[in-house]
Amino acid sequence: MVAISKPPIEQFFMKPSKPINPLTFPPIIPPIDLSKPESKNLIVKACQDFGFFKVVNHGIPTKFINKLETEAVKFFSSPLSVKQKAGPPSPFGYGSKNIGSNGDVGWVEYLLFNAKPDNFSGFDERPEEFRCIVDDYVTEVKKMACEILELMADELKLESRNALSKLLTDEESDSVFRVNYYPPCPEVQERGIGGGNLIGFGEHTDPQIISVLRSNNTSGLEILLRDGNWVSVPPDSDSFFINVGDSLQVMTNGRFKSIKHRVVANSKESRVSMIYFGGPPLNEKIAPLASLLETDEDSLYKEFTWFEYKNYAFNSTLSHDRLGVFEKIPSKI
């Protein structure tokens, strides 16, 4: 029998960072109502100012959301032997505590799915019903991601309304879907206040174009503001949170910024999050859109395809500044 040693709990605690100011978040990032005509203007402003915003009145029926959350909780509550049958997550399936393959750890269990059109599920160990629930949810969330990208394209006056969304609807779109489950951690409670924060998911930017996140009502998500302060995002299970990914930063020549975010595990309640990462086809050139470049404005980035970027990103640790080597003039570290 092989004894699996438990990783020492110490490695899950974060180095202290600047204190989080929970008061900063709500007033500065207003929710965007997708049903209102002014939403496109607010979306572009939020992408420029933060690379992050919250969407309300999204029109996604709660039945798709609740069904998936229920099924996910059922899966993560099942015996380890059952969950392990759906692993390892390379590239799709069940993972626990290890994130990616470059040594990152987090107090999290997760499922990674291929969200390519018509091929949503990445593994076959779960009953057909679970896969259908994932497919239904991803179909809805992808529609919303495309609607948001079309509103952006409209407001940015791109050559066509689907200039961005077509990358997600393309048959070869390299999109991913992830369900994260952060269990409560009794050790944190024992340590008490001042005992440190437990890393759920370490700081990083998302490499794709756009990420659509929905969580239950447990806190944990934090974003890094431009002034260097981490702020806690109040959870809201009725809304969706949108992140600008690295690829969209490049396509807007840095006008939109991909935002650094992380998850601090909650000591008492479990957090369940589901994220759709909308990515382009592997052979797609990731470059600033010509119509966004002013006369004489040069691309800030070298030429590369999504395949090249993904390859580099997936060989790096979570917190690595992945776009750095693709910049024509490397930014100071």
Ligand X SMILES: O=C(O)CCC(=O)C(=O)O
> At 84, which helix (H) or strand (E)?
helix 80-84
Buried b (16+ CB within 10 A) or exposed e, 184-214: bbeebeeeeeeeebbbbbbbbbbbbbbbbbb
How far is residue 64 from each of residues 99, 109, 134, measured CA to CA in Å?
A: 27, 22, 9
Measured from the CB atom, is 100 or 220 closer to ligand L4NPZUNZ?
A: 100
Whether 176 contacts 279, CB under 8 Å: yes
Comparing C-alpha atoms, which of 273, 268, 299, 267 is closest to residue 286? Answer: 299
Structure-token match 């970027």, residue found: 309
Mind giving me the DSSP string for 141-170?
Answer: HHHHHHHHHHHHHHHHT-SSTTTTTHHHHS
Measured from the CB atom, is 39 or 205 closer to Fe ion?
A: 205
Comparing C-alpha atoms, which of 57, 61, 72 is closest to residue 136? Answer: 61
Residue 273 contact among Fe ion, ligand X, ligand L4NPZUNZ, none, beta carbon within 5 to 8 Å by kind: ligand X
Q: Which residue is nearest to ligand L4NPZUNZ (CB)?
A: 100
How far is residue 189 from each of residues 147, 193, 199, measured CA to CA in Å?
A: 42, 8, 14
Per rule CB under 6 A, count of chain residues that contact ligand L4NPZUNZ: 15
Binding mask 190-209 for Fe ion (x = CB under 5 A): ----------------x---
Binding mask 164-203 for ligand L4NPZUNZ (x = CB under 6 A): ------------x-x-------------------------
Whether 40 contacts 248, CB under 8 Å: no
Instruction: Indicate which single residue of 71, 104, 150, 284 sits in contact with ligand L4NPZUNZ (rule: CB under 6 A).
Output: 104
Measured from the CB atom, is 102 or 291 closer to ligand L4NPZUNZ?
A: 102
Measured from the CB atom, is 100 or 122 closer to ligand L4NPZUNZ?
A: 100
Interactions with ligand L4NPZUNZ, residue window 257-316 (CB under 6 A): 277, 313-314, 316
- Catalytic residue flag (residue 271): yes
**Which residues in this chain contact ligand L4NPZUNZ in the complex, by CB under 6 A?**
99-100, 102, 104, 176, 178, 204, 206-207, 277, 313-314, 316-318
Residues involved in catalysis: 271
**Which residues in this chain contact Fe ion in the complex, by CB under 5 A?**
206
